[in-house]
Every structure is written in structure tokens, then in C-alpha cells.
Chain A
Amino acid sequence: MDIIVCVKKVPDTREAELIITKDGKDIEKGELVCDINEWDRYAVEEAIRLKEELGGSVTAVAVTPDEDEDLLRKCLAMGADRAIMVKDESFRGSDAHVIATALHHIIKDLPFDLVFTGVQAEDDGYAQVGGILAGFLKVPHATLVTQIEVLERKVQVHRELEEALMEVVELDMPAVCTIQTGINEPRYVSIMGIRKAAKKEMKTLNTSDLGLTEEELGDSASKVKIKGLSLPPSGKGAEILKGSTGEIATKVASILKSKGVLA
């Protein structure tokens, strides 16, 4: 079972004060802590679990404009066997189509049974790379995958639909799956893992190594272009509850009920 996992590094914006860059098309990332995209973390874990159960190999792949060796070292420390990074400034602002093109150029010459991506990325949330990549590779794909069972040359996967509806589908291998969070419990990076990662192969390529042309790269090739980003205007509607703790709790509960959050 040879599995390729596509990973991306994203800024942690949960508690950060976001500042829009001067050109209005990105956020200032200088002060933000960046780490592996949450969905990708589950994808890496799922790949490693399948390898540990069935044998084979896990290759982590990243396409990035930044020095993201640490992202791939993390995948290696978790248990991936090798890593490939394609770094090029022109990937800045690339849409899913361009990223999938680059990934396709890397993956098409590698042996694989399964390709995993996260369902989506925390930063831009497009949820497109997996699908487009499957199109390029001309293989079947399933999105929102929450369970994988490997059968003889096929995989049976569970897909999480709206209202917790579960769909079970069978795909011929090779195939692409976009992995949903919660499919497993990703492991922590261990010190043993870090030690082993230092001895594993990490390949850094540039776009010319992949035979990518300028027309296929960057802003000009992107079919989706960011026109601008803005922060939500501070709205009204906040209600400050007053009273004793008990009274406040009762009010909160009734509001949550009226909005359908609590049954």
C-alpha cells in the first residue's frame, strides 16, 4: 500500500488579531504561528495507520512558496517515510487548479495506491485540490472521508454528508480521498520520531525539475483570483446578560434553545 499525502502549512488565526496586507489580498502572517493544516494532520495519520497495518510506504508532498521543511519534517516525525517539497515563489496566490497541477506533476511518476489530501485548508477553505488532482490523475475520488477499509484492489470509504448522513462508497484503486477531521486521533510527534526523521529522505524540487511551464504557474495561470479581503464590520446584536450566575445561565439556556442549538 503506497500512499501519498498532500500537506499544506497554514497560519493559526484562532486567537490572532488579523491584519490585511497593503495590497488587500492577504493577511499579515509575520507574527502568526504556522503549522500543518488540521485536515492534513488527519490525512497524514490515516496514511501512517494504513501503512502500519498493511505495509508499504507513505510519501508526504507539499507545494509551497515558502520554506516549509518543518511541515514535512513533522510528517516524517509522525511516521511518513519520505517527503517531497516543491518550492517556488510563483505559488504565492495560486489557486487550487495550479496547486493540483503541480501536485499532479510530482505524483504522476510515483507509484501509488491512494492519494490523500485534507478535505479543505483552514486558510482559504476551497476544498478543491483533491477533486482537481483526481481529474488530472484520471482516477476516482471521494470527498469528506471518515472511514477507510482497504479491500482487494478497491477501497470502501464512508463519506460524511449533511445531517450526519453516512454514505458508503467503493472506489477502484488507485484513488484520491479527501480526509475529514475526526477520522482518527492524530498522534503527537515523539522525540523518537524526530530522531528518525533526521535520517529520512527529503527531496526539494523546483518547478523546472517538474517540467512546469510559466503558463501553468502563478497568478496568470490561476483561474480563481483574489480581488480583496476584508474583516467583518463590528456588528450589533451582542446582548449583555445581567443577574446572578443562576439567572444568567437560565437565560443563556433559553436563548440557545430558541435558536435551535439545544434541543
Chain B
Amino acid sequence: MNFELTPEQRDIQKAAREFATAEFDKDLAIEHELNHSFPEELWRKASKLGFAGIHFPEEYGGQGYGLLEKVLVVEEFCRQDSGIGMALSLVELGSEIILVHGNEEQKKKYLIPVATGEAISAAAFTEPEHGSDITFLSTVATKDKDGYQINGTKIFITNGCIASFTVVLCQTDLEAKPSYRGQSTLIVEKGQEGFDATELENKMGMRMNSTAELSFVNVKVPAENLVGDENRGFYNMMDFVNESRPEIGALALGIAQGAFDRALNYAKQRKQFGQRIADFQVIQHKLADMATKIEASRLLLYKAARNFDKGKIDPKISSMAKWFSARSAVEVTEEAVQILGGHGYMLENEVERFYRDARVTEIVEGTREIQKNNIARLLIGKIS
């Protein structure tokens, strides 16, 4: 049993912290929050330093580290600022599908620009009628002599409007039984005829990320844009979530830690009834609960990431790490707002934003409920 990070992992953690502390300016964050804009300049800077493609192999422009190192960076970025952290951490969403299932040409063409900060990617699974249950999709890719023709709508797609390419899960065989054995993952590039992305305005949080509705009207995709085998798309997506769930958990962990740092600091400064509020047991217990939840989340997440890196993928642990970190983040950020009181309710004191940003981590990449279904199924066996 070893709970220590390696010296190299600690260096990565420090490098991420140093960059985030110096560059994620609070006023800049509030500006992006109010304008719903993506912090493009910071993304380019972070990519130049190797943060974007940290877990891609070197031959695809990455740094050759694993998911645990990625998790460490995401945690530090979100700890410093929930909004900027989320925006910068998710720029390679969907690329992992190409990394795992793509062929050599696809990897070279699509991964290198993402790792080097030239491109942003997206993954499109969710549809207006299919969210938690995507075993059947209304977005259909019909095969023709040149490749595929896609028709349908995807919704709540992170990076939708700013992605250079999107990995789209489509139904390619309408007759397949079960239906998810008739799905495929296809790469759609920005600007392709018939492909349109519309920004979904006014979200609760995650305002520095683009969230879009994608519409596909007779979008022609060449056969070489098929990622992995035809009709194996659902399985590609399931592999992807083993990697992306700990990443979402890391967003939550960082957000929770950031809110905790601010609450602890405030509790030590703020005086009421003639003493620091940190001297009241009621505040002490809140802080103790928050710190405990954060530490438990961290251990689960690092374990999930380490398992992934060692090739011992346990979807049960990934799901546990994801839902627990996300729930903890919502609870911790909620208490942070409570500790800061009126100040906590104000945008300029950050924790209300952390609270709003935390909430989405319980929804994306499988809701809390879906994670629990997943865990239960793996514990009990097939539930009919």
C-alpha cells in the first residue's frame, strides 16, 4: 500500500499550482463568468506548457503521462478557479476516444493539435430524448458509398461551439438487437455542410465552457472518420467514461478544495461575538466535515486514476470516485457559502460560483444515480 505521489507527480502538481496561482486572476475570471466567454489566452498558455496533452503519448504531441497526472492538474486548476479550471480542463473532451480506438492517421491528425493548443475537441452522446439512456439514439448515420450521412440533434454538448471536431455517437444499425450494438462513433469537423452548433445560453454554472445544441442535416462524413469498428460505438463510449469519469471527479475535487480553502481562510479572519468564527464549534465541525469529504474523494479518485494507468480498469471504482467527489463538492461548496454568509452569496467572493460550478459534476458523464446503478450492477450482478 502506497499513498505517496512520486517526486515527479509532486512536481507536476506544483507546476500546475504555480501556473494557476499566477495566471488565474480573480477579476479576469469574473469577466469571463459575466460574459460567458472561454478563457482562450489562458488555454493557449497552458497548452504551451504541456498541460493540455499531459496524458497523451509523446508521438501525438503529448507528454506521455497518465490519467493520475491529468487528475492532479485538473484538481489544481479548479482549486484556483472553478470556472477557468473547468474551461481549461475539458478542452480535450472526446479526444480520448480517438486515443484509445482511433487509427494512426486519426491520432496524428486530431490529437496533435489538441495537445499543442491548436484545437479543442468535443464528444456528443446526449440527445433531447436520450440522456441517461442512450442505448438507442435518434441521431442516425446512414451508410452510403463514400461513407456516412448523419441526421439528428445532440444537446448539452460541452465545447460544442468552439470544438474543431466532435466525436459523435450515432445509430448506424437501426435493426440491431440490442440496439446499442448498432451504434458507431464518427468524427465530424467544424464547418462541415449541414452541421450547426448553437450556444445554449444562461446556465446555472460552467459559464466559461461552451455548451451547445448540435444539429446534423445530411452531414456527409467520409468512411475514414469512423473511430474504431462499426457498430462498436457504444462500447467505445463506455471505455471513454472510465477515463472521463475520474476527470470529472477531479473537477469536483478541485472545486471543493478551492471552496474549502476560502472558507477556512474566512473563518480564521472573521470575528463575531468577540471571537473568530473558527473558534465556534459549529464552524469547526463544518470545516472538519468538509475536509474529510475532500480527503475521501481524493483517495477514491487517485485510486481510480492509478488503476486506469496500470490497465486494471475497475468501472465500479471509477463510478464511486465520480459520484462521491461530485456529491462532496456540492456539499462542501454549499457549506463554504454558508460560512461566508452574506459575503458568500456575492459573486466577487467566489464561493457562490464554486457552488454553482460544482453542481454540474453530479450530472455530466453519468448522473449520480447512473453511477450508483453501475456500482450496484457490478456488485450484485446482472439486474434484469
Contact = CB atoms under 8 A, between A and B. Distances in A.
Interface of A: 35, 69-70, 73-74, 77, 188-195, 197-198
Contact of B49 (A35, A70, A188, A197): A188
5 contacts: A73-B7, A73-B11, A189-B18, A189-B49, A194-B12
Given A195-B63, A195-B64, A188 B19 contact: yes
Interface of B: 7-8, 10-12, 14-15, 18-19, 22, 48-51, 54, 63-65
Contacts of A195: 50, 63-65
Given A195-B63, A195-B64, A190 B11 contact: no
Given A77-B11, A189-B11, 14 more contacts: A70-B11, A70-B14, A73-B7, A73-B11, A77-B15, A189-B18, A189-B49, A190-B15, A191-B15, A191-B50, A194-B8, A195-B50, A195-B63, A198-B8
B14 A191 contact: no
B18 A188 contact: yes
Listed from nearest, the 5 A-B pairs whose CB atoms lie closest are A191-B50, A189-B15, A190-B49, A191-B63, A192-B50
Contacts of A198: 8
Contacts of B8: 194, 198
Given A69-B7, A70-B10, A194-B8, A188 B15 contact: yes
Contacts of A74: 11, 14
A13 to B, nearest CB: 16
Nearest to A73: B11
Contacts of B22: 188
Contacts of B48: 190
A37 B299 CA distance: 32
Question: Chain B at the A interface: mostly helix, strand, loop or mixed?
Answer: helix
A158 B310 CA distance: 53
A191 B18 contact: no
B135 to A, nearest CB: 38
A193 B22 CA distance: 18
B204 to A, nearest CB: 31
A191 B10 contact: no
Nearest to A191: B50
Contacts of B7: 69-70, 73
Contacts of B14: 35, 70, 74, 189
A194 B11 contact: yes
B63 A192 contact: yes
Contact of B65 (A69, A77, A190, A191): A191
Nearest to A195: B63
Nearest to B19: A188
A191 B54 contact: yes
Nearest to A76: B11
A194 B10 contact: no
Of A35, A70, A73, A190, the most chain B CB neighbours within 10 A belong to: A190
A191 B19 contact: no
Contacts of A193: 15
A192 B58 CA distance: 10
Contacts of A192: 49-50, 63
Contacts of B65: 191, 195
Contacts of B51: 191
A190 B7 CA distance: 15
Contacts of A191: 12, 15, 49-51, 54, 63, 65
Contacts of B11: 70, 73-74, 77, 189, 194, 197
A167 B73 CA distance: 44
Contacts of B10: 70
A77 B14 CA distance: 12
B88 to A, nearest CB: 14
Nearest to A189: B15
Contacts of B15: 77, 188-191, 193-194
A191 to B, nearest CB: 3
A122 to B, nearest CB: 16
A45 to B, nearest CB: 13
A9 B84 CA distance: 30
Contacts of B64: 195
Nearest to A194: B11
A188 B22 CA distance: 9
A190 B18 contact: no
A35 B7 CA distance: 15
A204 B170 CA distance: 58
